[in-house]
Amino acid sequence: MDQQNGNTKKYGMVIDLDKCTGCGACMVACMAENNVPFREDDTDKLLSVSWMRVYRLGNGKPFPQVEECYLPRPCQQCEGHAGHSPCVSVCPATATDYDMRTGIVSQIPTRCFGCRYCMAACPYHVRQFNWWDPIWPDGMERMLNPNVSVRMRGVVEKCGFCFHRYQLATDKAYLDGRRELEEGEYQTACAQACPAGAILFGDLNNPTHAVHKIAQPDSTHGGRPRNPKAFRLLERLGTNPKVYYLSSKEWVRKAGDNQVQRTEQTPKA
């Protein structure tokens, strides 16, 4: 249905782990773009807020077989079954929503009252709580992004695929008399900042977009990738995420899920 309906987008990401160097530029860009708060001592990562987090994975083997891989993890923008993503369906105050037009899971900080049920529901730990009020270093408040509201203590926040950029791009397209966005018109901060070009962003429903061509999502099987090098995190849970990872290494692909027994398929011509 999605592909037949020209207005329905499914924005998603393809992250090539073979290219990722773990430099953290995506994390920095994300924080700057989205006014993500930080503290003087932000070393406890279970208390800090990072919409994009880079994990370091190892193959667990001794030298010289040891291998490492960096895995950037934004919000996976789960569709679940018919938009019932794990976090959206549990929020008691409708402070988060699945946008059927874009496939983006939104977060409304001013609606959130901080029950944290969504955090308990998310298996990817992308939802984070503001344990403190944000305190910006002197002068930094003048550098905050005016398109993104800062959040107060006591609410949950998460990556929204830079939704404000989508709004700006659609506004511009409307003024130009267009209804459709070009692929490059709406890009997330992390995708633009990645020096290795490891993060690609676009409409998974659009066959001309790079993300569609690479991930080759199988809409008849909940968006599962047809590309044998592609995988999604925790595929078995049925969260139906829109972030695809690429790796040429089998151990990396296996690290994406618990005991996945996947039949690798040859991509269709």
Partner 1 sequence: MDSALIPKGVKRCSIGQFALWIAVVGAVLLWGVWAMLLCYFRGLNQTNMNNAYGFALWIWADLAVIALGGGAFFTGLLRYIFGKDELKHIINYAVLIGFICYSSALLILAIDVGQPLRAWFIFWHANVHSMLTEVAFCLTCYFGVLTIEYVPLVLENRQIDRLPFFHNLTHNMHGIMALFAATGAFLSFFHQGSLGGVSGVLYGRPFGFRTGLLVWPWTFFLYTWSAAACGPCFTLFITRITEMATCKKLVKDSVVELLAKIAGWMLLTYIVAKIIDTVYWAAVTAPAMGLTLMDFYSNNPGSAYGLWILIAEVGVCGVLPAVMLVAPGIRSNPSMRFIAVTLAVIGACLNRWVMVLQVQAVPVLPFEGWFGYMPSWQEIATTILPVAYGIILISLSYRYLPVFPQEQELNPIEGGK
Q: Which residues are near partner 1 by CB under 8 A?
A: 44, 46-47, 55, 57, 71, 80, 84, 86, 89-95, 111-117, 119-125, 127-133, 152-156, 233-234, 236-239, 255-260
Q: How far is the CB of 38 from partner 1 (least distance, A)?
A: 14
Q: Which is nearer to partner 1, 202 or 225 (CB)?
A: 225
User: How is residue 84 annotated by DSSP?
Assistant: B
* Cβ-proximal residues to 247 (8 Å cutoff; 6+ apart), any chain: 16, 17, 18, 69, 229, 231, 253
* Cβ-proximal residues to 44 (8 Å cutoff; 6+ apart), any chain: none
Q: Which is nearer to partner 1, 31 or 57 (CB)?
A: 57
* Cβ-proximal residues to 266 (8 Å cutoff; 6+ apart), any chain: 228
162: exposed, middle or buried (Cβ count in 10 Å: 0-12, 13-18, 19+): buried
Q: Which is nearer to partner 1, 22 or 147 (CB)?
A: 22
Distances (CA, A) of 84 to 15, 92, 213, 255: 24, 14, 26, 25
* Cβ-proximal residues to 49 (8 Å cutoff; 6+ apart), any chain: 36, 37, 38, 128, 129, 130, 157
Alpha carbon distance 27, 72 (integer Å)? 8
Q: How far is the CB of 170 from partner 1 (least distance, A)?
A: 26
CB 162 within 8 A of CB 188: yes
Q: Which is nearer to partner 1, 122 or 246 (CB)?
A: 122
CA angle in degrees (0–180, nearest 5) for 103-108-132: 130
Q: How far is the CB of 69 from partner 1 (least distance, A)?
A: 9
Q: How far is the CB of 256 from partner 1 (least distance, A)?
A: 7
Q: Which is nearer to partner 1, 157 or 203 (CB)?
A: 157
Q: Which is nearer to partner 1, 21 or 94 (CB)?
A: 94
Q: How far is the CB of 265 from partner 1 (least distance, A)?
A: 19
Q: Which is nearer to partner 1, 156 or 198 (CB)?
A: 156
Q: How far is the CB of 73 from partner 1 (least distance, A)?
A: 9
Q: How far is the CB of 221 from partner 1 (least distance, A)?
A: 16
Tell me which residue of 164, 116, 153 sits closest to 37, measured CA to CA. 153
